[in-house]
Structures are given as C-alpha cells and as structure tokens.
C-alpha cells in the first residue's frame, strides 16, 4: 500500500484526466463530471493502488470506464461516430484560419473514430493524455517500442488521410 496525498494527486493530474476524457469525445460538461467522478472513485479505492504503476495511467483507466458507463447510460456507444454537433460549442464569427483549423480537427476526429484499435487508443493516450510511450506500453502489456511504433503508424495514417482531404480527393 502506498500513502498518497489525495489533494496533491488531484492538483497534479486533474487537467490530464480532463483532457483524456475530452479526447474520448465527451462534451466539456460531461468531461468535467466524469473527471470529478474519477477522483471520487480513486479516493475511495486509493487503498487498492499499490504504487507499482503510474497513478496517471490508473486514473485514466478509471476515467475511461466511467466514460463508457456514461455512454451506456445515455444509450450511445463510444466506438460509434457520435453526432459532432452535440459535442461542439456554438460557433460564432471567427477569423478564417480558426475555422479552417476547426474543420481540420473535425476531419481528424471523424477519421480517428473509425480507426482500428489499438491505433486510436494509443494515439489518444499519447496526444491527449500526454502519456510517455513507457506508460502506454504498460497499459497494453506491451513494450515502449511497440507503443512508439503503433503511435507513429497511427500518425502516418492520419497524415495520409489529411493529405487526401486537403487535395480534395475525398
């Protein structure tokens, strides 16, 4: 058993957990709720955390499970394309560059929703969760090299897709 300062853990990892939940396509309000619930659940189960693994990875697993439970309660499935309009903020007049960037992000998110596993999960953990390859490999029971290769393959697939989109071939 490891003795942890719950407040320090909360302050250190709150934003990481929130970003991870948002990367799963959760709207901001839902991500906030799930993040709060993650820390409540973690506090209740802190005695089960033995300290051999990264606490952030442990929190991500709790958050992911809570998100999937939320999806089941809402009768939606996390692996299906979610209606983007439900999850996007109200768009107001903005400079053209910002709108173009948002459009690119929407294309990338849609493509990622259809990506095969483990590419999608590894990419999200690396980009949105900001986890190092060692921790990603650990989550999958694989090596850091496997996580690195999987991430770069996912990145390459996304880049190829975006090239097609930007050339108007889609």
Residue-by-residue pLDDT tens, the chain, 170 positions = 445 667 788 888 898 899 888 887 778 888 899 999 999 898 888 777 777 777 888 888 888 888 888 877 776 544 444 444 444 444 344 444 444 566 777 788 888 888 898 998 898 888 877 788 988 998 899 999 999 999 999 989 988 888 887 777 66
Domains of the chain and CATH, by start: 1-85 (1.10.1740.10), 90-170 (1.10.10.10)
Q: How high is the pLDDT of residue 170?
A: 61
What DSSP string describes 72-87?
A: HHTT--TTSPP-HHHH
Q: How many Å apart are CA 33 and CA 28, to the nearest integer?
A: 9
Sheet strands (E) in 38-129: none
Query: Does residue 32 contact residue 7 with C-beta atoms inside 8 Å?
Result: no
pLDDT value for 95: 46
């Amino acid at each position: 058993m490891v003795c942890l300062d719950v407040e320090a853990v909360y302050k250190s990892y709150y934003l990481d957990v929130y970003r991870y939940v948002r990367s799963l396509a959760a709207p901001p309000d839902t991500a906030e709720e799930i993040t709060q619930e993650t820390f409540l659940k973690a506090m209740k189960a802190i005695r089960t955390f033995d300290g051999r693994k990264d606490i952030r990875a442990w929190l991500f697993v709790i958050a992911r499970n809570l998100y999937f439970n939320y999806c089941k309660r809402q009768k939606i499935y996390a692996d299906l394309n979610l209606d983007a309009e439900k999850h996007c903020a109200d768009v107001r007049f903005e400079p053209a560059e910002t709108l173009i960037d948002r459009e690119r992000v929407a294309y990338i998110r849609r493509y990622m929703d259809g990506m095969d596993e483990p590419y999608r999960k590894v990419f999200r953990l690396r980009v949105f969760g900001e986890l190092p390859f060692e921790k990603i490999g650990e989550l999958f029971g694989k090596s850091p090299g496997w996580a690195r290769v999987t991430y770069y393959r996912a990145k390459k697939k996304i880049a190829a897709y975006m090239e097609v989109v930007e050339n108007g071939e889609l």
